[in-house]
Structure formats: structure tokens, C-alpha cells
Amino acid sequence: MNSKISRFSVDEIRSQFPVLSQSIRGKDLVYLDNAATAQVPQVVIDAISEFHGTYRSNIHRGVHTLSQRSTTAYEAARATVQNYINAEHVEEVVFVRGTTDALNLIAHGIGAGLKEGDEVIITALEHHSNIVPWQIVCERVGAVLKVAPINSAGELDMEAYKALFSANTKFVSVIWVSNALGTVNPAVEMIKIAHNFGVPVALDAAQAAPHLRIDVQALECDFLALSGHKLYGPTGIGVLYGKRDLFETLPPYQGGGDMIEHVSFEGSTWAELPSRFEAGTPNIAGAIGLAAAVDFVSSIDWAAATAHEDELLRYANEKMGSVPSLRLIGTAADKVSVVSFVMEGAHPHDIGAILDQHGVAIRTGHHCAEPLMNELGISGTARASFAIYNTKSEIDTLYNALLSVVDLLGLEEVG
């Protein structure tokens, strides 16, 4: 799919996502759980089916035709991702299981060089996948994990962030877009501050990938992680970008086939990038599907898509602001199309269950950001997250379903 989708027709886009045409409990599906996992267009399904149906085979070193075709498609997928994120070298693109896998790989590699008293900086907005790996590493070596705070709107305190740096700061690993609140962190400024202190930066771009253009050279990030299933691609596949010179300094993350140059019982030597970090048989179909998803996203008028999502966010804030007992959580000035909220007198899980009766799919809980919820003084939220295929009429359905929550639980009388 090379041509731009004409005039950003939402109807045209929706027609390419088969799952959206179904009914749930007798209601048209309104899928608003995109921050957890976005749906896939038919071109992605077709690409995966073609692999399994016509040339499924393992990659690299195979001399037969199917293996060669599979290898060519897999490496072409890597080149597609390289072009999409504007990496300088194709070997700077490593396929992983997802953002969590990528961040664990980074923590494992960076952790090998940390010592007691060294410091790693994260933020209060982080997903568990960018907290727990660093806790494990810091506990093992005696390093210190420092957390940059946020304000009541869910925005990073940049002065406090800068004040965390010291001579002992060795690494920064931060989220670009909050999955729980939609807050967009000023990534370029954050990276620049860290580099001024001579500190490399990893950027969690899982939530940024479907909403923001990624240019790793413009960002000047040292590492960047993303997940295919957020970007209209398959689950179980993701990307870790790393500057080549820094990647070369990291030890292997896993041992096995394809990541080695030579093996003997006395020792082993490692393969060149990116194979060094891709031990074993990879998710070949996932990589091919991810490339199809990237091509799909690249076919869309990005400016029009962004404007559409911004309008959905504005409209949702307006509609939901009039729902009795509802309070929006996370009101950053710069955010993507995520609306998190609580309703006084209603547990988020109850909200989600009632909305499901109306065919509306949202996410409830702490969104793998429990420390953030603690910072905000709540146990969790209900979260509606929008994608390019969502519509204002779906937000109207969400609004009416929320009024049903109010009526069923008698929330107008609470407080």
C-alpha cells in the first residue's frame, strides 16, 4: 500500500479492519482499548497468512528456496522499520518480543557495567516494564534508582528532572508517552539534558509509535523501544533501536542459535549486530506483519490522522466532562488521545463491565503503572484510548454508556 489514503476518510480506514464490523452483546463494537492493543488491518493479516501459507520456513543459513524467501522477507522487514524510524544503519534495528523485552535487554546490558553507587534515572510516569528491570539491576549491583516527579496534571517536573543528575548518573530510561494518562514528555529536551551530562538515554516509545512520528536521528536517543501491537501490527513482536557503537558495548542478552559466530565447549564468540541480540528462531511472521503495519501507517496522511485524533480527544473531554461524578485524571497540556477517569462511588472494573454490556471496550485498573496511581492518590482508572479508526459517534456511545453507569449505580446521589 503505497498511495496515501484519500482525504483521511475514517470510513475507508475502518473498512480495512475486519474486527471492527462485529457486534458485542447485540451492540456494534466500540473498541476504545487501543493503548493496550490496537487492531490490525487486513493487509497485516494477509501478510502473515501469506508467510504461513506459501513460504513458512526458518531464516538464515538455509539453502532451500523457502528458507531464502523467508530470510529475504524477514530482513526486508528490518529495512522497512529502519526507514520508518530513520535509523542510520539497518543493523541498529533488533527484533524483540515487544517493548518489555527491549527494556529488559537494555537493563541487562547496561546493568553489566553498573557498580555500587551508580545512578539510573526514570520518571513517575513509567510503565512497570521500565521500572522493574531497573529495580532488579540496581538491587543486584547496589546502584540507585532515581525518579523524576510529576505535577497534579500528570506532567513531568523538568526542573526536578534536571536536578537529579549528578556525577554518578550513568543512564536514563524514560517513557515518551504515558500509557496511563496520555502525557507526552518533552523527549528531545530530556535527551539533550542527559547528553549535556554525558549520559545515554533509552526511550520507551510503545505509546508514542501510533501517535507521533519517530525519527531517532532527530531525537538523538541512544536506544528506543516499541511494540508492534500498539502500531496496528501483530503481538509478540517489537523493535529495539540502538546506536551501533553503544550496541557493540553490550553483552549478549540470551544465548543460543544465530547469535553466535563460533561455539566450542571451551567458549563461544558472538555474531555481528543485529544477530547478537536475536537468539533462537525469531517471530518471523510477526516481523513480516509488523512491516506490513508500518507500510499501512506510512500510507496514511499523518497530519490529517493527528488532527483527527486530536479532535477525538477534544470531543471526548467535552462530552465526559458533563457526566455526573466523573473526574478526568491526567490533564497535561500536551497529550495524545487517551482519556483516563474515575467515577466517585464506582470501581473502575464495574465501569468497564457495564460499558461492555453496551459493546464498549475500555481498559480498567492501574494500567501497569501502579506507582503512578499511588502518586495520584488513586488505585486505578477507567481508560478510553482512541485510534485513527475511532469516530465521534463512538464517543457518543461511550458517553451514553457512562450515563447508564450513573443510573445503575446511583452515582448522581453520591457526594
Give catalytic residue positions: 368
Measured distance CA(271)–CA(260) in Å, rounded: 5
If DSSP states are collapsed to H, E and C, what string results for 30-53? EECECCCCCCCCHHHHHHHHHHHH
Strands 201-204 and 169-175: parallel
Measured distance CA(373)–CA(369) in Å, rounded: 6
Given a contact cutoff of 8 angstroms between Cβ atoms, the answer to whether 360 and 352 are in contact is: no
Cell of 155: 506532567
Measured distance CA(42)–CA(389) in Å, rounded: 13
Among 32, 22, 21, 6, CA closest to 360: 32
Measured distance CA(409)–CA(350) in Å, rounded: 9
Maximum pairwise Cα distance, the chain = 74
Given a contact cutoff of 8 angstroms between Cβ atoms, the answer to whether 334 and 177 are in contact is: no
Given a contact cutoff of 8 angstroms between Cβ atoms, the answer to whether 175 and 123 are in contact is: yes
Residue 50 identity (one-letter amino acid): E
Measured distance CA(145)–CA(110) in Å, rounded: 13
Q: How many helices (H) and strands (E) does the chain have?
A: 14, 17
Burial of 61 (0-12, 13-18, 19+ CB in 10 A): exposed
Sequence-ordered alpha helix ranges (H) in 342-410: 348-356, 370-376, 392-409
Cell of 149: 516527579
Query: Can you give the C-alpha Rg of the chain in angstroms?
Result: 22
